[in-house]
Amino acid sequence: DGIDASQLSLISLYPNPAKNSVSIKNAENYTISVYSIVGQIVKQSLVKTNLYTMDISELPSGIYIMSFQYGDKKFNYRLTKQ
């Protein structure tokens, strides 16, 4: 499925649930795509730093999937927006 468990354990995402922003640690050079629960892409960003803060204040409350991709590595996190 393309999940590298060692890499997965290095990336952290907090807080979760989140209100206005989410901090992502150790995802430098990853492309992050945020999908709604119905699979529509609602936000996308290329992470250029080791600690990245994504503004999610404009997103409605609900469940989102954050997809991290770098080369052939791709994995998903579930994010709850309050």
45 Cβ partners below 8 Å, 6+ apart?
31, 32, 52, 54
Q: What is the pLDDT of residues 20-75, one digit of tens each?
A: 999 999 999 999 999 999 999 999 999 999 999 999 999 999 999 999 999 998 88
> Residue 64: what residue type?
Y
Task: Find the range with the poorest average confidence among 9-13, 15-19, 47-51, 76-80.
Answer: 9-13
pLDDT, residue 10, reads 80
pLDDT, residue 1, reads 47
Whole-structure pTM value? 0.85
pLDDT, residue 62, reads 97
